[in-house]
Structure 1
């Protein structure tokens, strides 16, 4: 196990290097440079002063020299500076990371709380009214675009009924660190988290349902029934455990995805997380933030693959990754 993990971590180094080259040169191919966002936010900026700053920052250097400087900073944990927000990219991402993390965790928990019982019950009572209802829900969830459901729930429960906030992660004036502060943050989480969970349950329900249907026909389940094992224990001890493989296969991606951010969800609900920051940085041409967020997303995708392999090998002893 440790040899496999170490080997995969070493393989990630050239993968991350190739990813950094792709991200950097694609960013350079876009119109403008790192100071373009500064021009947008400060229209009266002196062109001569801007050119002097561009020269000082090395933006007029050859592209390979710029890449080398950027990679050296990246290796030391320096993600650059946001010239739109006037602070370091590391500090900017850190200020949004907590919101994205909590939203991602709540969505993940709600997804499994909804998907696992529905998937097991749907597979156990195949072709029943319950199964048909669950399958219909998954089809509807799969066909519904995220922004449609998000706008609908925001309009109904936010604007019409006024049950939930329509933007932000906490109300203005609430003192940080108090119990009222955390309750208020949780209150702002409910609507976007439920929206994300309702649409992300589709794949988990379908995979789990199919696995339950296939597993209950296997020989070891028939043997357990022939020995008089109660049906409830057969499902809890045999079928359910062996049906978790699809969930385990994607669990690594889900765990790393909690800090990847959701562009549409955060933007629609005005939730100040990394997803909203990414979209704003693109529109404002804040390239240092864009490249940093894409690089982080790429790293999380590679890490998610590694975690999925390790988790899958733990769940199913038949799988050997050494």
Structure 2
């Protein structure tokens, strides 16, 4: 197991280096630079002054020198300066990272709370009315874009009924650390979490349903039934144990996918996380922040894939990649 983990980490290093090169070159290929967004709409800005700043900040250096500085600083925890927000990128991201992680975790937990029971019901009693209703719900989830569903949820439960807040992550008038603060935090999470979870259950439900149906027909299940094993034990010890393994293995990848894919949800609900910051940074041409966010998201996917492989090798005793 240790050999497998070390091997996966060594494979991950060149992947991250290649990702960093691609991100940096794409950022350099975009029109303008960090100063363009910082001085956008500033009547006092002039071309001569901006050119002096570019020379001073090293924006006119060859791309490989700029890349070397960027990677070296990034590894040391220095992601550069946001010239739009006038603060270090690490500080800017730190204020929003906790919100995105909290939203992603609550969304993932809600996805599994909905998807696993529905997948088990649909797979165990396939072709029943319950299975047909769940499959219909699945088709709805797959066909509906998340931003459309989020807008519908926002309009109905945020504006029409006014049951939940329509923006921010907490009521700013409430003191931090109090019970009312945590209640407000949870209240602000309801709509974004449900919007992402209800649409995000389709893959897990369909995969679990199909795997249960396939597992029911395998020889070891038929043998267990022939030996007189109770039906409930057949499902819990033989069918579900094998069908849930891939779901557990996919968990590491899904966590990072939610963290990096919360752009639409955070933007629609004005939720102050990394996704909302990403959209704002693109609009203001804050390329330092954009590069850092894309690098973090790409690294999260690579690390999540590695975690999924490790989880699968742990939960499935048949897999030993040593």
For Structure 1 versus Structure 2, the TM-score category normalised by the shorter chain is: over 0.9
Q: CA deviation at 1:232?
A: 1.2
In structure 2, what is the Cα distance between the partners aligned to 1:128 and 1:81?
58
Judged with a 3 Å threshold, the aligned counterparts in structure 2 of structure 1 residues 198 and 43 are, in CA distance, closer, same or farther, namely farther
In structure 2, what is the Cα distance between the partners aligned to 1:215 and 1:164?
42
- Structure 1 contact 100–261 (Cα < 8 Å) conserved: no
Runs of 4+ in 1 over 6 A off after TM superposition: none
Q: CA deviation at 1:223?
A: 1.6
Judged with a 3 Å threshold, the aligned counterparts in structure 2 of structure 1 residues 43 and 11 are, in CA distance, closer, same or farther, namely farther
In structure 1, what is the Cα distance between the partners aligned to 2:40 and 2:253?
36
Alignment of 1:1-322 (within 5 A): 1-40=1-40, 42-322=42-322
- Is the partner of 1:31 in helix, strand or coil? coil
Of stretches 312-321 and 302-311 in structure 1, the one that deviates more from structure 2 is: 312-321
Q: CA deviation at 1:27?
A: 0.5
TM superposition score normalised by structure 1: 0.97
- Is the partner of 1:243 in helix, strand or coil? helix
CA RMSD of aligned residues (A): 1.3
- Structure 1 contact 123–213 (Cα < 8 Å) conserved: yes
**Cα deviation 1:135-183 (Å, max 9, x = unaligned):** 0000111000111111111000000000011111111211111111111
- Structure 1 contact 261–273 (Cα < 8 Å) conserved: no
- Is the partner of 2:91 in helix, strand or coil? helix
Q: CA deviation at 1:258?
A: 4.5
Unaligned runs of 5+ in 2: none
In structure 1, what is the Cα distance between the partners aligned to 2:287 and 2:222?
60
In structure 1, what is the Cα distance between the partners aligned to 2:41 and 2:184?
32
In structure 2, what is the Cα distance between the partners aligned to 1:41 and 1:255?
39
Q: CA deviation at 1:33?
A: 1.0
TM superposition score normalised by structure 2: 0.97
In structure 2, what is the Cα distance between the partners aligned to 1:215 and 1:250?
19
- Structure 1 contact 111–198 (Cα < 8 Å) conserved: yes
In structure 1, what is the Cα distance between the partners aligned to 2:222 and 2:235?
12
Q: CA deviation at 1:259?
A: 3.3
Judged with a 3 Å threshold, the aligned counterparts in structure 2 of structure 1 residues 279 and 42 are, in CA distance, closer, same or farther, namely same
Q: CA deviation at 1:225?
A: 1.3
